[in-house]
Amino acid sequence: MANKKNNKINSAATNGSKYDAVIDTNERAVAIHEHLVTCLVENHPGVLARISGMFSSRGYNIESLAVGTTHDPSISRITIACRGDDRIIEQILKQLSKLIDVIRVVDVSQSSHVERELMLVKVAATGAARSEIMQICDIFRARIVDVHHDCLVIEVSGTTSKNEALMELFERFGILEMTRTGRIALNRGPEILSVAEE
Amino acid sequence: MAITGAEIIVDALVREGVQVVFGYPGGCVLDIFDRINHVPGLRFVLVRHEQGAGHMADGYARATGRPGVALVTSGPGATNLVTALATAYMDSVPIVALTGQVPTAAIGSDAFQEADIVGITRPCTKHNFLVKDVADLARTIKEAFYIATSGRPGPVVIDLPKDVQKAKLENYVYPEQVRIRSYHPVIHPDAGQIRRAAEAIARASRPLLYVGGGAVECQSQLVALSERCDIPCTTTLLGMGIFPGDHANSVHMLGMHGTQYANYAMHHTDLIIAVGTRFDDRVTGKLEEFAPRREHIIHIDVDPASISKCIPVSIPIVGDCRQVLDRLLPLVEPKKHHEWIEQVRRWKADYPLRYPDDDKLRPQHVIRELYRATGGEAIVATEVGQHQMWAAHFWQYVRPRTFLSSGGLGTMGYGFPAALGAQVAFPDRLVLDIAGDGSIQMNIQELATAVTEKLPVKICIINNRYLGMVRQWQQLFYKENYSGTFLGTPDGRAAGASLYIPDFVKLAEAYGAAGIRVARKADVAPAIKEAIANGRTTILEVMVEEKENVWPMIPAGAGVEQMISGLA
């Protein structure tokens, strides 16, 4: 990861392209890391299929995926968590940029950002366990959104690692069912990803 | 005045400068067919299989540089086109394919002749569209031509539901301009990177140009660069003719079946100048052993995704190849590399492409004779296999757009329809399809198109009764187990023979074409002369040695040091 900070050396490689993060190919790291790639795309039918198709046809894996329209209804924002070494991530960014309906692509995990995933967990909760679960929820700022004699449904949002820590704590009570969204992210500070051309 | 979708489509084609449409009718394109034969100056070529239409559009596009247009119906018509689209996509050929579709209300209902062609062609087209509203039709067609021909070219599909073709639109205006906010193919090359490239060229002592199909408009720039700095030039299969093969600095094709001298040059170079090419596995072989002495790679390409995809590149330049070279040339000082250029010429002299010159009728000899008879003045299309490699080895291509071959996808059955597409574009030029007895059978039905349209393409079938390239691999790597590659004995034409190979002469005659068969070396040259002179679609079937191999060869996944030169 260390050499990632100097990654503008080859900026010409993407001059006029849809994304900025460029990796100097002489210093590429082979270590595999998780990245969060965000795209602004045309809100057209089939765009998601183009993106997921690119991942599957080139053998890249999607760890999580979040899709939704933005405040501009003609634009959707897609956030993809994926793993790979620098070469793979560079190809993913370039191949995404190449899709005609993709307007902008950025690897948000390369700069300071806020990321969240939402999780709903149904936990077995009887007797004394109930209060213990409620205490844990307090600490994690999780909310109980449904109560039943035998179980609780708990809503929590946060980073994947926070949510997983919570899951681990719930495990001994018995997790009956759970579901989570894809991760979403925004850069911190005034920097925005917009469709405006450079 | 109101105008129908079908009328808009035909008008749009004319406004885009389309002169010929290759296609096949069907239920879901009847409205377009009802209009298309009323347009003066727009030629419609009826094919006999939709794959043929796709390859003809492809051959037309490669030979002219203008987009090829195919028109087919929904369902099987469209799926038959898929191989041609994938072929064009791999080789970056601009095609606009119009496919019929069931009416919008029926989409998704498994209607008769319905196929999700937008879904099917998504991974094998540059882009595709489903037009659901006649109001979007004109803009979509404009965008399709723009996308197909700009940046890195490629095929674009427009799926046209039947009701959209029938729908009427008031106030139709064909758009003058196109602007797609998510697509910016015009990339201004970075001046700093071009400067770095010039510095690297000045420092290099063994530079090598490596040129692919993306440099098709760059011949004079490449020759200028090569001559100014003593830089030898190798090309990929699709780069043949872009750098003149008869130039002293040409080292011809590199890679798996490249020349020894091209591969040696790549092995010893300290600076690769890659132009419009993508370091395909058939070029590089084993990546770890590719060009081990290189200090730098300058990679000029219009597609950023091609850069550093297979091989890390130290000086990437994204942009139109000709524009980049035009800006690079003034920064490059003349430089001599006597030792290097001498070394390369010595390799070229010591390891020429060759074959035994004996009494046997060898396939290489046929190509040589074709070249002699034409003086190289022809457009050559090929199918895929051994004959394709011999057509690359024993013909010297000196101009771009004179060698049409499926490089990336390796599509058997490509050459004949591609040759027809080129012949439609250039009725007065000699167009050849160099074919194998296997490949030619994959789109043989287009003989009917050729004869009907009076396209005097010459098909030279190099008949060795084998799927020769696969047989060669079986010989070398599968202990001569010729499983599934033997097509018939020379007497296989006898009634009751277990493996029956068609009589290609009779087949040609059945279609109304001319057929000539040659089985002796001495008869080759006169037969070629006759075929060229007859003014008709002609099959020239040459019964060659059965088990000739393509040499040299670097086995798949190996490096230059494992090259098999073949001949003692």
Q: Render pLDDT for A99-149 as a digit per residue (tens, 0 to 9).
A: 999 999 999 999 999 999 999 999 999 989 999 999 999 999 999 999 999
pLDDT exceeds cutoff 70 at A5: no
Partner residue facing B308 (CB), from A25, A45, A102: A25
Beta bridge partners of B380: B403, B432
Interface of A with B (CB under 8 A): 10-18, 25-26, 28, 41-42, 45-46, 49-50, 53, 57, 87, 90-91, 94-95, 97-98, 100-103, 195, 197
Is residue B236 within 8 Å of B254, Cβ to Cβ? yes
Outline where DSSP puts E strands in A112-163.
Answer: 113-124, 143-147, 151-158
Q: ipTM of this predicted complex?
A: 0.91
Q: Can you tell me the mean pLDDT for A155-169?
A: 96
Residue ranges, CATH 3.30.70.1150, chain A: 114-184
Residue B149 φ then ψ, to 5°:
-105, -15
Q: Distances in Å between the alpha carbon of B163 and those of B25, B107, B115, B244?
A: 16, 11, 16, 51
* Both structure tokens of B321: 């190849």
Residue ranges, CATH 3.30.70.260, chain A: 2-111
Q: Which residues in chain B are closer than 8 Å to A102, comparing Cβ atoms?
A: 182
- The number of residues making up chain B comes to 568
From the CB of residue B186, how many other CB atoms can be counted at a distance below 10 Å? 12
Note the pLDDT of residue A29: 63
Residue B391 φ then ψ, to 5°:
-65, -30
Q: Render pLDDT for B59-115 as a digit per residue (tens, 0 to 9).
A: 999 999 999 999 999 999 999 999 999 999 999 999 999 999 999 999 999 999 999
Q: Distances in Å between the alpha carbon of B409 and those of A34, B238, B474?
A: 33, 12, 21
pLDDT exceeds cutoff 70 at A13: no
Amino acid at A173: F
Architecture of domain A114-184: 2-Layer Sandwich (3.30)
DSSP B139-199: HHHHHHHHHHHSSS--EEEEEEEHHHHH-EESS----S----TT-----PPPHHHHHHHHH
Partner residue facing B187 (CB), from A15, A26, A90: A15
Decide yes or no: CATH 3.30.70.260 for domain A2-111: yes
* Confidence category of residue A195, pLDDT binned at 50, 70, 90: confident
Q: Render pLDDT for B253-268 as a digit per residue (tens, 0 to 9).
A: 999 999 999 999 999 9
Q: Render pLDDT for B502-548 as a digit per residue (tens, 0 to 9).
A: 899 999 999 999 999 999 999 999 999 999 999 999 999 999 999 99
Residue-range domains of chain B with CATH: 3-169 (3.40.50.970), 191-350 (3.40.50.1220), 363-543 (3.40.50.970)
SS3 B215: helix
Q: Enumerate the H helices of B171-317 as residue ranges.
A: 191-203, 219-228, 260-268, 281-284
Q: Which residues in chain B are closer than 8 Å to A43, comparing Cβ atoms?
A: none
Is residue B291 within 8 Å of B269, Cβ to Cβ? yes
* Confidence category of residue B481, pLDDT binned at 50, 70, 90: very high
In SS3 terms, B366-385 reads as HHHHHHHHHCCCCEEEECCC
Is residue B212 within 8 Å of B272, Cβ to Cβ? no
Beta bridge partners of A144: A154
DSSP B6-46: HHHHHHHHHHTT--EEEE---GGGHHHHHHHTT-TT-EEEE
d(CA B97, CA B12): 13
Surface of B (184-243) touching A: CB under 8 A = 184, 186-190, 192-193
d(CA B390, CA B387): 5
